[in-house]
Amino acid sequence: MNIWDRLARLDRRWIYLLVALAVIFPLIVPTTFKIHITPEARQLYDAVEALPDSSVVMLTFDYYPSTLAETEPMSIAALHHLFRKDCRVVTVTTIPLGGPSIAERVTRAVAAEHGKVYGVDYVNLGFKYGYVAVLKGMGSSIEAIYPTDNSSVPLSELPMMRSIRNYGDISFIYIVSDNAIVDYWISIVNAEYATPIGIGVTAVSAPKYYAFISSGQVTGLLGGMKGAAEYERLVSKEAMAFKGMAMQSLVHLLIIALVIAGNIGFFAGRRAKKRTAA
């Protein structure tokens, strides 16, 4: 049995071990990789940067806890950018499992860093069941859909919400999502109410949304942890996603090496079989 045969029969648990080592190594030995800012991430940053100060921005937390590694750094970086620009932020979620509590925890932590006050500078509307009705309904009246915020405080008692009635009062919608809800934000909210939309999505769904950039329906796109790291870089708040890129890059290099080795092994094995047959 030559080396290629052994490689073809390799127990996959050795590969898991190699991947684990590639992830753990940069944690023990701090390693940094250069990050290139993509035009799509730059476009999203510029769109937020171009908003007049104290604009109202809706930030969505449309993701489950399982994808926190990709999505939460986007939300944190977005909030730093928005609060730094003195934007007033309205957070919503269409995800019941974790969405409201993630929004509450992340927003309050970043707001405290910027000295922002709940009800004046930001509001967490939380979750409401039936996303199509919710997205359409907020076009007429946000208060009709969310009579209270996430903590059951009536919107009429929150000073910030007195001047925000519907999408007409919102300058930009910043969507952070791990699922196809983005399609409805685009096809219902952007198409019907013409509110500009920027998105941060998991890497799995990122390729799909490039088409919406070129059609002009979406203003800027962050794809996965790499997109989050780019935004962290742009807002000069390098954190978890930026650190994660070293691990990401090492694992990618390992996978590329394994794919090449696997292919060489496959062709070498086929050649050896042909020789034996001859």
> Given strand 221-223, what is the order of strands in its sheet?
122-127, 88-93, 56-62, 172-177, 197-201, 221-223
Q: Is 87 in the site for other proteins (CB under 8 A)?
A: no
Q: Is 233 in the site for other proteins (CB under 8 A)?
A: no
Closer residue to other proteins (CB): 88 or 243: 243
CB of 85 to other proteins, least distance (A): 28
Euclidean distance between CA atoms 200 and 78, whole angstroms: 10
| Residue with the two structure tokens 């925890």 | 105
CB of 56 to other proteins, least distance (A): 23
Count of residues that interact with other proteins, criterion CB under 8 A: 49
Q: Is 77 in the site for other proteins (CB under 8 A)?
A: no
Q: Is 190 in the site for other proteins (CB under 8 A)?
A: yes
Determine what percent of the chain falls in helix, strand and coil, rounding each to the nearest 5. Answer: 60, 15, 30
Closer residue to other proteins (CB): 107 or 150: 150
Among 39, 96, 154, 159, binds other proteins (CB under 8 A): 96
Among 240, 258, 261, 268, binds other proteins (CB under 8 A): 240
Q: Is 239 in the site for other proteins (CB under 8 A)?
A: no
Euclidean distance between CA atoms 229 and 250, whole angstroms: 16
Q: Is 214 in the site for other proteins (CB under 8 A)?
A: yes
Assigned token pair, 218: 């979406």
Using CB under 8 A, which residues numbered 44 to 63 contact other proteins?
Answer: none
Type of residue numbered 266:
F
C-beta separation of 176 from 75 below 8 A: yes
Q: Is 153 in the site for other proteins (CB under 8 A)?
A: no
Residues in the chain: 278
CB of 67 to other proteins, least distance (A): 7
Euclidean distance between CA atoms 118 and 180, whole angstroms: 30
Q: Is 255 in the site for other proteins (CB under 8 A)?
A: yes
Q: Which of 236, 233, 201 is nearest to 220 (CA)?
A: 201
CB of 35 to other proteins, least distance (A): 14
- 19: buried, middle or exposed (CB in 10 Å: 19+, 13-18, 0-12)? middle
Strands (E), the chain: 56-62, 88-93, 122-127, 172-177, 197-201, 221-223
Stretch that binds other proteins, among 81-89, 162-170, 182-190, 267-275 (CB under 8 A): 182-190
Type of residue numbered 140:
S
Q: Is 99 in the site for other proteins (CB under 8 A)?
A: no
Cβ-proximal residues to 12 (8 Å cutoff; 6+ apart), any chain: none
Among 7, 10, 35, 68, binds other proteins (CB under 8 A): 68
Q: Is 187 in the site for other proteins (CB under 8 A)?
A: yes
Type of residue numbered 14:
W
**Interface with other proteins by CB under 8 A: which residues?**
13, 16, 19-20, 23-24, 27, 66-70, 96-97, 127-129, 132, 136, 183-184, 186-188, 190-192, 202-204, 206-207, 211, 214-217, 223-226, 240, 243-244, 247-248, 251-252, 255
